[in-house]
Structure 1
């Protein structure tokens, strides 16, 4: 995996059922924007809030709509190895071309247990396994030496790095180069969508940006500029995306958390663009109110997102 691989938002109806027509329009919007792959059932997909039936419905819908035009990978995120293996069996049967797994969470895990977890995942599925480094939710930072070791053995295909630790990312990229062999094929995708140009300059292979749901073409342009070595123009595009991303700051943090504010803002943006029918988020997340929605509309208009779509 390389390039721009958005974590696909999950549109809901007012009754909290998955809105498949909106989801299909979103997949079309992303592919039309030039993305290089789709990541269903990630954090921005609200995977932590989804019952198993909805997980299956979503991955089947995304794969069906994509029709092989771009690869689709699927999150199998859950608390334990056994539950992740169950999710993996479902998404692989549906046609996912890779699975994305965090370390187990809730219980405290030893580094040896985390390594065993990823080995068990790799042994159990016949598609590539991508590790997901998400310390803010999983409460542990994946060890870079362990990741490269498993990559060198051909057990891990890549990493989505949402740790925000640029120094650790650089060490990982240097280790990948130094070890070589099969580790050279280990794909490193940054989840830090406001510093994509920096990550690509260090040698990362791509980005998994939640905001690409709203502006996929912007992230594709940024990636292309970095690939061409036009770092000055890439910085300009990255700074433009930073300005657009300000919509995630609109939600009032005295009454909602970061997830409600960010995912809610993405969905409001998608609704304003006419891609999804409403901005419903899964409970217990708190929806943005009309005043906040109006502010997001103003920001997207001021940055040209609404006018350019």
Structure 2
């Protein structure tokens, strides 16, 4: 299969939340409004079916609704990356076929998980996805969920083969991120998945950011990125500090629920309060935020100038 040419990804590429109805279905109308909210905020691309999209909770049919809705509505205005995240290569390839049919610009995949893997198997996994899809493939380094760290050696080796077009680094390993930045060659894209250290990642030479909080405040991350690109590091730092304070919404659920419930529930509650989506519902078995917690999120939004 002929590989499509790779244009280096840069800028702000938020992982798009998946709005849901109160009975647990994908809310396509709210999803379209969210996409418009992000594009109007100046983002450079969209990443659907990632962690902030609740990909782990969605059925295959729901994944298809998300892909068709977003790719169809965007119509090529910005690149759309699709997460093809699953446990093993055969399962991932099923998602690849659907994503290619939807007309996405690129694919995002983690290492295999649940099974215990070796770097040799991880390389085979990414090589197979690349060969089968004909699209640019971006590695998603997420050891907190996948339990495998993608090393700089592995990533850069696959990049040199033409297998990987870039990486979304959500590892929290700044030393490892710097190794990748130092060793990469164009057009390999290095994107940080951190909401709270974007300025430092860009200063090190990262190409962009994939922030879950960017759903709530795309304008803020675009301002941060543009300030960094212009070399105005003081403005970038001040914008980052405002976003760090806003990111405290993910802790509002406290100890009565898991981090996914608290974080994704906070993003959706904020989007609901901002009038972007109709319902703040999250997928089962996540625990919903209560009225008091939602009110606290509203106070954070007001402090950040978003209400």
Indicate whether the TM-score tops 0.5: yes
Counterpart in the other structure of 1:7: 15
CA contact (8 A) 2:140 2:168 kept: yes
**How is 1:1-309 mapped onto 2 (pairs within 5 angstroms)?**
1-176=9-184, 183-253=185-255, 255-306=256-307
How many residue pairs match? The answer is 299
Task: Supply the distance in 2 between the matched residues of 1:248 and 1:305 (Cα, whole angstroms).
Answer: 16
Task: Supply the distance in 1 between the matched residues of 2:138 and 2:300 (Cα, whole angstroms).
Answer: 35
CA contact (8 A) 2:178 2:204 kept: yes
Partner SS, residue 276 of structure 2: coil
Task: Supply the distance in 2 between the matched residues of 1:246 and 1:139 (Cα, whole angstroms).
Answer: 26
Please report how far the alpha carbon of residue 292 of structure 1 lies from its aligned counterpart in structure 2 after TM superposition. Answer: 0.2
Please report how far the alpha carbon of residue 277 of structure 1 lies from its aligned counterpart in structure 2 after TM superposition. Answer: 0.5
Task: Supply the distance in 2 between the matched residues of 1:284 and 1:2 (Cα, whole angstroms).
Answer: 35
Task: Supply the distance in 1 between the matched residues of 2:111 and 2:33 (Cα, whole angstroms).
Answer: 32
Partner SS, residue 18 of structure 1: coil
* Higher mean C-alpha deviation, range 147-156 or range 133-142: 147-156
Task: Supply the distance in 1 between the matched residues of 2:265 and 2:191 (Cα, whole angstroms).
Answer: 24
Task: Supply the distance in 2 between the matched residues of 1:189 and 1:137 (Cα, whole angstroms).
Answer: 18
Please report how far the alpha carbon of residue 155 of structure 1 lies from its aligned counterpart in structure 2 after TM superposition. Answer: 1.1
Partner SS, residue 96 of structure 1: coil
Task: Supply the distance in 2 between the matched residues of 1:235 and 1:203 (Cα, whole angstroms).
Answer: 15
Task: Supply the distance in 2 between the matched residues of 1:79 and 1:153 (Cα, whole angstroms).
Answer: 24
Partner SS, residue 254 of structure 2: coil
CA contact (8 A) 2:253 2:293 kept: yes
List gaps (5 residues or longer) in structure 2. 1-8
After superposition, the C-alpha distances for 1:37-83 in whole angstroms (9 at most, x for unaligned) are 00000000000000000001101101111121111000000000011
Task: Supply the distance in 1 between the matched residues of 2:96 and 2:169 (Cα, whole angstroms).
Answer: 20
CA contact (8 A) 2:151 2:176 kept: no
TM-score (norm 2): 0.96
Please report how far the alpha carbon of residue 211 of structure 1 lies from its aligned counterpart in structure 2 after TM superposition. Answer: 0.3
Please report how far the alpha carbon of residue 299 of structure 1 lies from its aligned counterpart in structure 2 after TM superposition. Answer: 1.2
Partner SS, residue 305 of structure 1: coil
Partner SS, residue 14 of structure 1: coil
Task: Supply the distance in 2 between the matched residues of 1:218 and 1:241 (Cα, whole angstroms).
Answer: 7
Please report how far the alpha carbon of residue 252 of structure 1 lies from its aligned counterpart in structure 2 after TM superposition. Answer: 2.3
Please report how far the alpha carbon of residue 294 of structure 1 lies from its aligned counterpart in structure 2 after TM superposition. Answer: 0.6
Please report how far the alpha carbon of residue 152 of structure 1 lies from its aligned counterpart in structure 2 after TM superposition. Answer: 1.1
Runs (4+) of structure 1 exceeding 3 A deviation are none
TM-score (norm 1): 0.96
CA-based RMSD of the aligned residues comes to: 0.7
